[in-house]
C-alpha cells in the first residue's frame, strides 16, 4: 500500500460556477449558474448536490495532527493505543476512534490532475509535487515547488493556508499537473 491516496472531501456551502460536486454518486463540474436556476425554479435549496474537492490524503498520522474521521469529522490526535487513537473532537463528542477510520488531508489536488486522478488512486512520494503560492511578485511563476530543506520543514506546509497550496500528481508520461 502506498502512503498517499486521493479522496473526495465534502466542502461547506452551495455549489457555484467552477465547483465540482457529487450527485447520486457521480462527479460533475458546475459550468454555469445552474444551481441558482434550479433553486429558483423549485423555490428551495438544492441539497442533493454536495460540493467537493479532490484531496491528497495520508494514513501516516502523528500526535498533534488534525485528522478527519470518515463519519465524525475533524479531530486532533492526542495519543495512540494500538489500533485506537485518543482524540480531541472538533465536530463530534467521540474521544476514542479506530485508527483505520481516520486520515490526514495533505492538500487539494490540482484541478489539472482531475483528468487522470480518481478517488482511491494511491501514490508514492515521487509521484506528488507540493507547491505553494508566492504572491510577493518576486517571480514570474506564482506557484513554486515546496522543497523541504535547511530553512523549510514539513511543518511549514501544515501551517500554510489551504488556498496558498496545491498538490500536483505525475501523469503516465512523467509530467506533473
| Residue 2 backbone dihedrals phi, psi, to 5 degrees | -80, 155
Looking at residue 49, its pLDDT comes to: 74
Low-confidence ranges of the chain (pLDDT < 50): none
SS (H, E, C) 90-144: CCCCCCEEEHHHEEEEEEEECHHHHHCCCCCCEECHHHEEEEEECCCCCCCCCEE
Model pLDDT for residues 51-99, shown as the tens digit of each residue? 899 999 999 998 999 999 888 888 899 888 888 888 887 777 778 888 8
Where are the chain's structural domains?
A: 4-169
Q: What is the model's pLDDT at position 98? A: 87
pTM score, two decimals?
0.79
Cβ distance 49 to 23 under 8 Å?
yes
Q: Tell me what pLDDT residue 70 has.
A: 82
Amino acid at each position: 500500500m502506498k502512503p498517499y491516496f486521493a479522496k473526495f472531501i465534502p466542502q461547506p456551502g452551495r455549489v457555484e460556477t467552477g465547483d465540482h460536486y457529487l450527485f447520486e454518486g457521480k462527479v460533475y463540474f458546475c459550468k454555469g449558474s445552474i444551481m441558482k436556476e434550479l433553486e429558483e425554479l423549485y423555490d428551495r435549496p438544492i441539497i442533493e448536490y454536495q460540493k467537493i474537492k479532490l484531496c491528497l490524503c495520508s494514513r501516516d498520522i502523528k500526535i498533534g495532527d488534525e485528522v478527519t474521521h470518515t463519519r465524525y469529522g475533524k479531530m486532533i490526535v492526542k495519543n495512540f493505543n494500538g489500533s485506537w487513537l485518543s482524540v480531541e473532537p472538533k465536530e463530534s463528542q467521540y474521544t476514542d476512534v479506530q485508527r483505520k477510520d481516520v486520515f490526514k488531508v495533505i492538500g487539494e489536488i490540482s484541478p489539472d490532475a482531475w483528468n487522470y486522478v480518481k478517488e482511491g488512486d494511491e501514490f508514492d512520494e515521487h509521484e506528488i509535487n507540493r507547491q505553494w503560492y508566492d504572491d510577493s511578485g518576486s517571480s514570474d511563476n506564482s506557484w513554486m515547488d515546496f522543497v523541504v530543506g535547511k530553512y523549510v520543514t514539513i511543518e511549514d506546509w501544515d501551517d500554510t493556508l489551504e488556498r496558498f497550496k496545491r498538490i500536483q500528481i505525475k501523469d503516465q508520461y512523467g509530467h506533473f499537473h
